[in-house]
Structure 1
């Protein structure tokens, strides 16, 4: 579970931190070496203008370097901890709400959470996430949907996300 707060700190559970750190270490170590070898092998095949393998490997290298930079920034700003058990909706919470007459549960956090146990994940910056952040069970709020409609939400329950 991850999310970046307004002060630039990224909140991570221990599991998410360990998983992202392992990904970073692989991509920036053995992953880079493997890709460099593939590029070199493709380069040896001849004319680079018509070498699809070379161009594909170079494109993959660009994507990998971007992911390495993203992971480095994420890990540098990480604050490792567990979700709050205060009863207030916070980053890392599983939130149960009544939305448009339907009950639903979701995790308030980042998509980097990986497996959210089958729950949807909403960012604190999403309209729904921003509306419920800091609320407690029993609170009723509304938010403006992307189509401009006002949507009423009632917070029914909140618990820490445990993975």
Structure 2
């Protein structure tokens, strides 16, 4: 089984979500018990809703437990800062066309959120940056065409 890279923050968020879901289990069980007391289960909407919620909750718990079991947590804060772009690095780029600066952190697939400037290690931009160094100019093929960037800085936080 291949390990999937994950940042320390990503693991922490998954564990928090797992804790929240595990705390919901008894509440859902209680809701099912209360709905059962109302009588005929065939026409009991509360019972069916509680059972559906239980199924969703259990599926989410299994999904998170699986993700945690196959993850390889990488703490980039403990890496020596040699200016190379690696998994977990925060990279500041300058767009060669517009001179606009953008910063991304390269994270695992499940952690990616472009609105928070977290890009998947498997994204075109991340793949084009991995292994490069501060000061390098890179051409990256994106769905919108080829983009030219200069790597302004690389941080491991």
Offset of 1:105 from its aligned partner? 0.8
Matches of residues 123-162 of structure 1 in structure 2 within 5 Å?
A: 123-147=120-144, 149-161=145-157
State the Cα deviation string for residues 52-86 of structure 1 (Å, max 9, x = none): 33333233223222221222122223334421333
The one of 2, 8, 30 aligned to 1:37: 30
Q: Which runs of 5+ in 1 are unaligned?
A: 1-6
In the alignment, the residues of structure 1 paired with residue 126 and residue 58 of structure 2 have an alpha-carbon distance, to the nearest angstrom, of: 31
**1:9 and 2:4 correspond:** yes
State the Cα deviation string for residues 29-48 of structure 1 (Å, max 9, x = none): x3222212212222332344
TM-score, normalised with respect to structure 2 = 0.75
Matches of residues 5-154 of structure 1 in structure 2 within 5 Å?
A: 7-13=2-8, 16-28=10-22, 30-83=23-76, 84=79, 85-99=81-95, 100-101=97-98, 102-110=100-108, 119-147=116-144, 149-154=145-150
Offset of 1:123 from its aligned partner? 0.6
Are the counterparts in 2 of residues 131 and 141 from structure 1 also a CA contact under 8 Å? yes
TM-score, normalised with respect to structure 1 = 0.73
In the alignment, the residues of structure 1 paired with residue 148 and residue 51 of structure 2 have an alpha-carbon distance, to the nearest angstrom, of: 48
Are the counterparts in 1 of residues 105 and 117 from structure 2 also a CA contact under 8 Å? yes
Are the counterparts in 1 of residues 83 and 154 from structure 2 also a CA contact under 8 Å? yes
Q: Which runs of 5+ in 2 are unaligned?
A: none
RMSD: 3.1
In the alignment, the residues of structure 1 paired with residue 52 and residue 143 of structure 2 have an alpha-carbon distance, to the nearest angstrom, of: 34
State the Cα deviation string for residues 8-54 of structure 1 (Å, max 9, x = none): 233331x54344334324434x3222212212222332344543333
In the alignment, the residues of structure 2 paired with residue 10 and residue 124 of structure 1 have an alpha-carbon distance, to the nearest angstrom, of: 9
More divergent stretch after superposition (51-60 vs 122-131)? 51-60
Q: Secondary structure at the match of 2:128?
A: helix
